[in-house]
Amino acid sequence: MTKTRLSVNINKIATLRNARGGNMPNVIQCAIDCEKFGAEGITVHPRPDQRHITKQDVIDLKPILTTEFNIEGNPKEPFKQLVLNILPAQVTLVPDSENALTSNAGWDTIKNKEFLKSVCKEFKEAGIRVSIFVDPIEEIIKHAAECGCDRVELYTEGYAKGYKKNREQAIEPYYRAACEAERCGLGLNAGHDLNLDNLKYFHKTIPNLLEVSIGHALICDALYMGLEKTIGAYLEELK
């Protein structure tokens, strides 16, 4: 069975800090604690308006992390330069607009193929693993592979929304997408709206799942359970 790593997205920690200014909660210390409590990666998504994770956060995180650092974002020039300066283990390309509340769609890897090819090449030449954020559509994944990425990250909001109504139906396109990723030689990540209710079924059903990136639900759970117990609970779902 493929080992699935838990990467904790700490954007919401930064959102809380930014609501009052200052340094409470301390984003850097929270990242250190996430690793200490068992997280196998740290994810951040610095946006142009810096409404949660800031450029300085990304710079400060790099030297202190001991697990994989994953930076998400739309690969426009300022983001590209930040990633190339930091050299994280992984960059996840997300096509979100500047005013998007949260990521809400994957790439059209057909229409954007030449752009994505160029971006993938630049990051890979710098030694960074590249993942492309995609909807669970087999044709899109096939073209993602032709862009030169190492992995795709399945956008899982559709699964999460359909889980309680009919989990078998909700997961079917994701299973097909995972099989297509394997056929294309791509690694597989997943993220968005995965939580303690729906994660175990996703994990046991989707083949070759290498990583899940979870932030909003995990941080919400930590308000009730504490960060250490919450990370432990998510890791238990991934056994």
Residue 172 pLDDT grade (very low, low, confident, very high; cuts 50, 70, 90): very high
State the pLDDT at residue 99: 60
Spatial neighbors of 39 by CB under 8 A, at least 6 apart, are 6, 7, 8, 67, 231
Tokens representing residue 54 in the block: 């800031």
* Residues 191/229, Cβ–Cβ less than 8 Å: no
Kindly give, in sequence order, each residue whose CB lies less than 8 Å from that of residue 152, ignoring residues fewer than 6 positions away.
131, 132, 133, 134, 141, 144, 177, 181, 186, 187, 188, 189
pLDDT of 129 over the 70 cut: yes
Q: What number is the average pLDDT over the span 94-115?
A: 81
**Nearest-CA neighbor of 76 among 60, 104, 95?**
95
For the chain, the average pLDDT equals 96
Which residue ranges form the domains of the chain, and what is each CATH number?
5-237 (3.20.20.70)
Q: Does pLDDT of 54 surpass 70? A: yes
Residue positions annotated with a catalytic role: 45, 72, 192
- The pLDDT assigned to 1 comes to 60
pLDDT at 98 over 90: no
Handedness of CA 106, 139, 211, 90 (dihedral sign): negative
Please tell me the predicted confidence (pLDDT) of residue 96: 79
The mean pLDDT value for 141-155 works out to: 98
Q: Are 93 and 109 contacting, i.e. CB atoms less than 8 angstroms apart?
A: no
- List of E strands, 46-179: 68-73, 90-93, 129-134, 151-155
Residue 103 has pLDDT above 80, yes or no: no
How many angstroms separate the CA atoms of 234 and 214, rounded? 9
If we measure between CA atoms, which residue out of 148, 45, 141, 60 comes closest to residue 91? 45
Report the pLDDT value the prediction gives residue 134, as an integer from 0 to 100: 98
What is the reported pLDDT for 151? 98
Residue 30 has pLDDT above 90, yes or no: yes
Provide the pLDDT for residue 105.
Answer: 82
Using alpha carbons only, give the angle 182, 5, 162 rounded to the nearest 5 degrees: 70
